Amino acid sequence: MPSPIRRPCSSRRKTWDRKRHRSAHRFNARILNTRMIRILVTIFAGLLGLAFGSFLNVCLSRWPNDESVVQPRSHCRNCARTLSWWENIPLVSWLALRGRCRTCRAPIGWRYPLVELSVGVLWAIPAWRFMNQALDPRLPTALVYYDLANTLCTLLLLWLLVALAVLDAEHLWLPNMLTFPGVALGFAYSVLKFVFLVKVDALTGLPLKSGMENLPFGIWGVVLWTLISILIAGGLILLIRWVYWLIRRKEGIGLGDAKLMALLAAWLGLPGTLVAFAIGVLLGTIAALALLLSPKVSRTAGAWATTKLPLGTFLCIGGIVSALWGQPILAAYLRMEGF
């Protein structure tokens, strides 16, 4: 048997090799660790999203009937039997029960697993992004805290938009008890975000992230601009509503949609809201065309023209897309237009 070929090497080279190997190993271990942490935190956020989605389902069933969301405990909407703990596990219970109540066999709607899954997935995305930033050792701590606060606010907005989307889809109802506080929270978010960023700029000495130099009036400029954005976004819907009324002498769009647009503007700013509006209108048009082409509707002549579409639902979906991917969409659009 031939002896294995050995690389002739000095002892110095050997130590150097060993050292390099060890440091590479340590580096790989660190990468592996951060990747593990990132995955674990994302999974945790997703599971938390499932739980909050489950709570949202309770709200969505009870708010329209003006019932308390705390009392009584979760029960079957048909036979009123209180559910045991294992019938309350998000997603799993619905699958295990195959979408039916254990005692009365009444079907449990698709909405339940769908809402749970939506909030779960929608919460995992910002968490995944945040962890990418948070685990970067070059990033100043102040900026990590800023990102954390920003991420938590995004989770709240996403939850709110899922709630409004379902309420409008099921009841054509965008309740004031959600839209008005939503506008106020969004306003506070936009102003505080700016204040935070100015603080972070001062703390880290990084090139201005807040864009302070572009705002001659500082904080009051932000307050004023946010208010104007809210008015423009809400006013856009009021204008369309008015034009529709002039032409058809009928109410086309609900006032709730105007409040929803104001809410989006408060959170996402005017450019982000326009992205949401464009996506919402596009989805609404596709839905209207699908309705027009479906044989059931076209048989009853003129029915499609009076069928009410939940514009709010489409706007909420647009808002969710804009909240998560608004920046790249806007950048791509501006590039396309040659800016």
Binding site for Zn ion (CB under 5 A): 76, 78-79, 101, 104, 106
Q: Between 106 and 188, name the residue whose CB sits nearer to Zn ion.
A: 106
Cα separation, 31 vs 25, in Å, equals 10
Classify residue 291 as exposed, middle or buried by CB count within 10 Å of its CB (0-12, 13-18, 19+): middle
Q: Between 65 and 214, name the residue whose CB sits nearer to Zn ion.
A: 65
Q: Between 101 and 237, name the residue whose CB sits nearer to Zn ion.
A: 101
CB of 111 to Zn ion, least distance (A): 16
CB of 146 to Zn ion, least distance (A): 47
Cis peptide bond N-terminal to 328, omega within 30: no
| Residues shown for the chain | 339
- Reference 136, options 147, 126, 125; nearest CA is 147
- Contact between 222 and 190 (Cβ < 8 Å): yes
Q: Between 23 and 78, name the residue whose CB sits nearer to Zn ion.
A: 78
CB of 57 to Zn ion, least distance (A): 15
CB of 119 to Zn ion, least distance (A): 24
Tell how far CA 308 is from the center of its chain: 25
- Outline where 205-254 has alpha helix (H): 218-248
Q: Between 106 and 152, name the residue whose CB sits nearer to Zn ion.
A: 106
Residue 100's φ and ψ, nearest 5 degrees, are -135, 150
Report the C-alpha dihedral over residues 184, 281, 173, 268, rounded to 10 degrees. -10
Q: Between 77 and 199, name the residue whose CB sits nearer to Zn ion.
A: 77
Cα separation, 131 vs 38, in Å, equals 5
- Reference 64, options 136, 163, 149; nearest CA is 163
CB of 108 to Zn ion, least distance (A): 9
Residue 35's φ and ψ, nearest 5 degrees, are -65, -40
CB of 103 to Zn ion, least distance (A): 5
Cα separation, 155 vs 140, in Å, equals 23
CB of 74 to Zn ion, least distance (A): 12
Q: Between 13 and 75, name the residue whose CB sits nearer to Zn ion.
A: 75
